Amino acid sequence: MNSPNTTSLLNEDIKYVWHPYSSLHSDNPIFAVKSANGVYLTLEDGRQLIDGMSSWWCAIHGYNVPTLNDAIKRQLDNMAHVMFGGLTHSPAVKLCKKLVELTPEKLDTVFLSDSGSVAVEVAMKMAVQYWQARQLPGKQKFISLQNGYHGDTIGAMSVCDPITGMHSLFEDILAKNYFIPSPTCHFEELCHSEHLKPLKTILKQHHHSIAAMIIEPVVQGAGGMKFYSADYIKQAKVLCEQYDVLLIADEIATGFGRTGKMFACEYANISPDIMCVGKSLTGGYMSLAATLFSKEISNTISKHPPHIFMHGPTFMGNPLACSVALESIRLLEASAWKQNIKKIEQLLIDGLKDCQSLDAVKDVRVLGAIGVVELKQPVNMAHIQQAFVDAGVWIRPFGKLIYLMPPFIIKKDELNRLCEAIHHVLSNNMQQ
């Protein structure tokens, strides 16, 4: 039972706060968190939940990490923030250099921003401005995959799935782009001509108006947690080059080890023209994102009117965020993260396999530190969220998907408890 203080907090939350993807009149429960440590969230009522979400996939090192705490504290003694227009500072420069070293070749320049959606906006604007500088102003449209998700801002929404996505309400005000079917060639399968035919057709017919193709490499995240062939990406890159179209890799969800590679496009052994990273960049501590691009793009934009890239976030290059991002990357590289992701992958395979036999389940799939149970019907969010909390875990389903993307530090018994909770809750709440 909630204490009077917790009840008051929750009542004021209902009165004043609008949560993401929710109604002010929703009956979905809200749980007040008092603290977080390791892989555990401690609620105001004292209950501890094992976090299977990494706070929407970003807290890869878990919570209250001493080295990440110290990075922010040290930077705070110097400055919390300074504008990035006309000024620079060591944390930002070091971070940009590190990102160039870490990402695929030819991504030589970095533009910092404050969220994944904005990183995508930057990538799209950059692609359009590049072609304008190349005296091809008609190249303003984009190709993206059905079931794709690239963010919630206006530009990013225009390349999210227009039918099954979350933004159909805004269809009339969004730029009209090209969509092709999500690849049907599965992960680790080769891609054949029929899989590439829709892309090839669009490029052949409309390449003169297309600035870039944008994809989530290997894993389509919020659009359905679908895993697809890296060979598709490899061949898509070849086609884009053939038809003079840029390729943007949205690695916001997949970057920094989540799929078993540092970046998912490494499975295809390609270097995109532009790459977006975010989420795990700071280990979940602060909002920060980055758009990386080739010198060809940056030099072309800089040498032609208006000779500047037309974007500038107020909190661009925030020193606190850059400092903790550097430490998060250092911490990841210093760990045996590849072997660790392999262990998590096998534990997810073993732990979720029994879900496949449940009547309500359509599919179970695992890649790296991502485990997905796809249902035949959408969940009752209010009911199932409470059931997971009662089981001592924090799992946040959406639509037909119940998934795990746990912190990389999770232990075997903790991950087993997450998997067992999914099987238990589905067995007792979703059977037909």
Q: Which of 141, 226, 279, 400 is catalytic?
A: 279
415 within 8 A of 348, measured Cβ to Cβ: yes
Taking the C-alpha atoms of residue 47 and residue 198, their distance in angstroms, rounded to an integer, is: 51
279 is catalytic: yes
Q: Which of 21, 97, 176, 390 is catalytic?
A: 21
272 within 8 A of 247, measured Cβ to Cβ: yes
40 is catalytic: no
Q: Specify the residue for token string 């916001």.
A: 252
Burial 319-340 (b: 16+ CB within 10 A, else e): bbbbbbbbbbbebbeeeebeeb
- CB under 8 A, 24+ apart: contacts of 424-429: 424/391, 425/384, 425/387, 425/388, 425/391, 426/355, 426/358, 426/360, 426/361, 426/373, 426/375, 426/402, 427/358, 428/387, 429/380, 429/383, 429/384, 429/387
Q: Which of 324, 307, 318, 341 is nearest to 114 (CA)?
A: 318
Residues sharing a CB contact under 8 Å with residue 238, sequence separation 6 or more, in sequence order: none
Tell how far CA 416 is from the center of its chain. Answer: 24
Question: Looking at the DSSP assignment, which residues form a beta bridge with residue 142?
Answer: 212
Q: Which of 51, 114, 250, 273 is catalytic?
A: 250
Q: Which of 249, 371, 271, 309 is nearest to 128 (CA)?
A: 309
Taking the C-alpha atoms of residue 54 and residue 41, their distance in angstroms, rounded to an integer, is: 10
Taking the C-alpha atoms of residue 288 and residue 81, their distance in angstroms, rounded to an integer, is: 13
Residue 389 dihedral angles phi and psi, to the nearest 5°: -65, -40
Q: Which of 130, 149, 228, 267 is catalytic?
A: 149
178 is catalytic: no
125 is catalytic: no
Which residues belong to the active site?
21, 149, 250, 279
